[in-house]
Structure 1
Amino acid sequence: MRLLPLTLIVALSGCAVGPEYQRPQLPLPEHFDATPGTELHLGTLPWRQFFLDPQLQQLIDKALQDNLSLEQARSRLVAAREQTTVTDAALYPEFSLGLNAERDSESGLTNSDPEISDTFNLDGMMSWEIDLWGANRRRSEASYAQRLSSEQQLNLSTLSLISDVASRYYEWLDIEQRYRISEETARLRLEEVKLAKLRKQNGMISGLEVRQAEVEYQSARTTLPELDFDRHQKQNQLKRLLGSYELQTQYQLPQGLSALGVPQALEIGVPSDLLSQRPDVAIAEQQLIAANASLGVAEAALLPNFTISGKYGFESNTLSDVLDSEGVTWSLVGGLTQPLFNAGKLNAQKRIAAETLKQAQLAYRDTVLTAYTEVSDALAGVRRAQTAMEAQQELVNASQEYVRLARLRYKNGVATSLDLMDAQRQLFSAQLALSQLQRDQLLAHISLYRALGGGLSG
């Protein structure tokens, strides 16, 4: 019979009030709108296999090592792991050791022979809140979910950083490419100015046509200062991502964005893959798990609370005898507390926890829906960028042929300088637009890669 209370306590401590977590069933479609290919699964493809430019890989490596925001996320993860230890400590008894000394003097007004006495105590103490209803286990569950959420937050920060570095790099290359196009166009138009002046000297054209050639030359030159500013701005954005005041390496930039590339045959998987691949979806689910566990904590607060505390030690009038077996003292105390009246506070806390759980459920559903639509939008962006770039490339090819024929007719005196200038102007605009569309195609692939949660392994 003496074991019955202990057996009952152990049995009760094996249960935990509150709902057990189950992942919400979501009506996800079976497939995305389209799949570019079937060879590589984009959502699990390591970033080194997606970003193939060695210089871009160097930049990403540097950013992963030195980015300041990423370092903050790592620090938050360390703190979250330690917080799990703090929370889990409530599941176990606490033990402490105390040594106390006291000197006491009696009053001379109430004692004819006042004495001074010394008391020394050496005590080992134990206290334990029996987790009858699983409140501490629910707290541990919530804390662990927050830890996993911090891990996924680090993953999200890593994915964002990789994508941002690649995006700024491609934008920088686009600016450099347009700068080279503008320089080359200005150089060619300067030759046209020299030719126009020579033809005027020979009486073949008027001064008006010379001025027109000069206008076209200066128009090409005016693009250079703005592009130079944009170039420095993109470099500074990269420096910030790299956590550095300077780009420590002189990068040999490729001659064109067309020289870069990403894997062309890609498999995007099915929508349900987003639940395991996207860090933001994982974060939303861990927040949901934590909210679910917190509801159990709120429900347990309405039930009786049972604590055990004990003390075992020695007491003596002299320090030298403090460990004498005759001075042994001990106590064992058990307490049961049942909330009776708290002006509705505990019930309100339970209702708050229930609403918080409802909000977390809605946030999880919204995050998954957002993830799905982002992938769908990214797929549409890839298709649009590819189609637009192919059409623009055809326009550049046609414009180049137009310039060639116009120059030939101009030299033979069949066409006017206006015809040649119009052809050159159209080619210049088409080349600048093609560079931007090449950049947009690369950025669209990054958006798809990011939307699928890829890039977390090197």
Structure 2
Amino acid sequence: MMRRYSIIPLVLLAGCTVGPHDLTNPVPTPPAQVPGTIAPVSGAAQQLVAGPAVVPNWWQGFGSAKLDALVAQALAHNNDLAAAEANLRQAQELARAASGGTGPQVDANYQAQRTRISKALSGPLADQNDYLYTLHTAQLTVAYPLDLFGAGRNKVRSARAAADVAAHRLHAAQATAVANLVLAVIQHAALQAQIAATQAAIRDNRDLVDLLEKRRKLGDIGEADVGAQQTALATIEATLPPLLRQAQHQAGLIATLTGQAPGTAGDLPTLAELQLPASLPVALPADIVAARPDVRAAEAQVRGAAADVGSAIAVRLPSITLSGNAGGSATKFLDMFQDGNPFFSIVGGITQPIFHAGQLKHQQRAAEAALEEAKAQYRATALQAFLDVDDAIAGLRTDAEALDAAARADAAASRTLAMTRRQVELGALGTLQLLNASSAASQASVQLVQAKSARLADSVALYLASGSTPADLQSAGR
């Protein structure tokens, strides 16, 4: 009876796991964003709707089949996503390997040994053939570390937390890849619109140069007036090549984001083909934290760091290992398990670290410091998520106001240029007023394009900041 109950303390100890268990890590939360309507006079209205942070297939809200096709291609062929998926598989396999390390280890072994012994070690009456023999040995070895204080279990928890981090980072990579692609498409469309506006301004300024050249020939104006307009024309022409270069870069970026070589992006959406999403999510701070993959990855890192602390503590405590082996050995293969040839052994050992020159203590302190770092990084990541949402909503509101101002400025500048040009044709105004009106019209046209694209980009930023990512994107294409 005593032998039966003597194992109870070991069983109880085997269920004990040392290390921090309370991982509460409060984060200051901002007040919830207030739903409402963003309705500029010069653009489409958008509703800020209270609800879940995650919006499935949010890019479809831009109403472009071309954009949808590009996103599907990126989810299927983006190389960063392929690398993140491979990293996730690696982390998952390492977690399974760590779990396997806590169980019994069973190994089978067979060995054949051909030996010739010295005649001096053999009896004088031994046969000549007895000097040379073969020894066959087969055995089965079992080893089992008793995880008294959770060293193995904590290693498994740490590995599983690392796999969770890799999974959330994959989701973040998916969200970022889609957002970067949509932003690149918007930027490319905006650049194409700016190129079109610049080309129109160049044509207008060339017409003005021709007009002033005619007036110079009539003697109404001098060479300086024509030269001033030619300078203005050259200045506008100089702005076109950088725009063309940027547009080509964006097209190449779109191709690489979809896993293709630059120059193969194909037909891309124009700014007119991209509509503003009619509604945008306004989630509670708790929902944002729960949805953001970077925040969830930071949370998993805290769990992994806590498990590492437990492992560091357990290393300083006693450890018990049970092992045994059984087999047979004979000079003939078929006789290994005959008569007295079988053998076995059972070994139990306990180890208690006594002196390691402070190594184990400092490893524990290092793990505890890593846990504090992980907690701080989690709080910083959560606060950054709140800031991203706040910035995106502020951008939507202010860019709507900027769009109204840009639309009014563009309309006024266009009217002013038309009237000034007419008065110049009639000889009522000089070239200075014409130069000013032409420059103002060109700048107003570019600012209007930028204001329109900014609202589109801010919509992408809010989707990304709210956490519209992972599972929804996977079902859409990868």
Under a length normalisation based on structure 1, what TM-score does the superposition of the two structures give? 0.92
Check the 8 A contact 1:48/1:57 in 2, yes or no. Answer: yes
Check the 8 A contact 2:184/2:254 in 1, yes or no. Answer: yes
Tell me whether 1:44 sits opposite 2:54 in the alignment: yes
Counterpart among 86, 99, 102 of residue 97 in structure 2:
86
1:311-333 deviation digits (Å, cap 9, x = unpaired): 12222221122243653222221
Deviation at 1:131, TM superposition (A): 1.1
What SS does the corresponding residue of 2:137 show, helix, strand or coil?
strand
Counterpart among 357, 370, 385 of residue 356 in structure 1:
370
Give the aligned partner of residue 194 of structure 1: 210
Give the aligned partner of residue 385 of structure 1: 399
Tell me whether 1:127 sits opposite 2:125 in the alignment: no
Report the Cα distance in structure 2 between the residues aligned to 1:173 and 1:184, rounded to whole angstroms: 17
What SS does the corresponding residue of 2:101 show, helix, strand or coil?
helix
Inter-CA distance 400–41: structure 2 relative to 1 (3 Å threshold): farther
Report the Cα distance in structure 2 between the residues aligned to 1:95 and 1:149, rounded to whole angstroms: 32
Alignment root-mean-square deviation, CA: 2.4
Check the 8 A contact 1:119/1:316 in 2, yes or no. Answer: yes
Segments of structure 2 that go 5 or more residues without pairing to the other structure are 38-46
Inter-CA distance 241–250: structure 2 relative to 1 (3 Å threshold): closer
Give the aligned partner of residue 280 of structure 1: 294
Give the aligned partner of residue 24 of structure 1: 25
The aligned amino acid for 2:294 is D
Deviation at 1:93, TM superposition (A): 0.3
Give the aligned partner of residue 15 of structure 1: 16
Report the Cα distance in structure 2 between the residues aligned to 1:323 and 1:139, rounded to whole angstroms: 40
Check the 8 A contact 1:185/1:428 in 2, yes or no. Answer: yes
Check the 8 A contact 1:396/1:427 in 2, yes or no. Answer: yes
Tell me whether 1:169 sits opposite 2:185 in the alignment: yes
1:394-424 deviation digits (Å, cap 9, x = unpaired): 1111112222322333444444444344322
Check the 8 A contact 1:98/1:124 in 2, yes or no. Answer: yes
What SS does the corresponding residue of 1:45 show, helix, strand or coil?
coil
Segments of structure 1 that go 5 or more residues without pairing to the other structure are none
Check the 8 A contact 2:114/2:135 in 1, yes or no. Answer: yes
Tell me whether 1:339 sits opposite 2:353 in the alignment: yes
What SS does the corresponding residue of 2:142 show, helix, strand or coil?
strand
The aligned amino acid for 1:141 is R
Percent identity reads 26
The aligned amino acid for 1:184 is A
Deviation at 1:21, TM superposition (A): 4.6
Check the 8 A contact 2:292/2:465 in 1, yes or no. Answer: yes
> Alignment length, in residue pairs?
456
Report the Cα distance in structure 1 between the residues aligned to 2:237 and 2:196, rounded to whole angstroms: 11
Check the 8 A contact 1:42/1:266 in 2, yes or no. Answer: no
Report the Cα distance in structure 1 between the residues aligned to 2:260 and 2:404, rounded to whole angstroms: 38
Check the 8 A contact 1:42/1:449 in 2, yes or no. Answer: no
Give the aligned partner of residue 249 of structure 2: 233
Report the Cα distance in structure 2 between the residues aligned to 1:348 and 1:205, rounded to whole angstroms: 87
Inter-CA distance 455–394: structure 2 relative to 1 (3 Å threshold): farther
Give the aligned partner of residue 66 of structure 2: 55
What SS does the corresponding residue of 1:91 show, helix, strand or coil?
coil
Deviation at 1:59, TM superposition (A): 2.3
1:156-206 deviation digits (Å, cap 9, x = unpaired): 111211121122221111111111111112122222333333444455554
Tell me whether 1:146 sits opposite 2:162 in the alignment: yes
Under a length normalisation based on structure 2, what TM-score does the superposition of the two structures give? 0.88
Give the aligned partner of residue 344 of structure 2: 330
Give the aligned partner of residue 312 of structure 2: 298
Give the aligned partner of residue 79 of structure 2: 68
Report the Cα distance in structure 1 between the residues aligned to 2:194 and 2:375, rounded to whole angstroms: 48
Deviation at 1:211, TM superposition (A): 3.5
Deviation at 1:272, TM superposition (A): 1.5
Inter-CA distance 121–375: structure 2 relative to 1 (3 Å threshold): same
Once the two structures are overlaid, the 10-residue window that deviates more, 34-43 or 11-20, is 34-43
Check the 8 A contact 1:41/1:266 in 2, yes or no. Answer: no
Deviation at 1:337, TM superposition (A): 1.5
Inter-CA distance 346–405: structure 2 relative to 1 (3 Å threshold): same
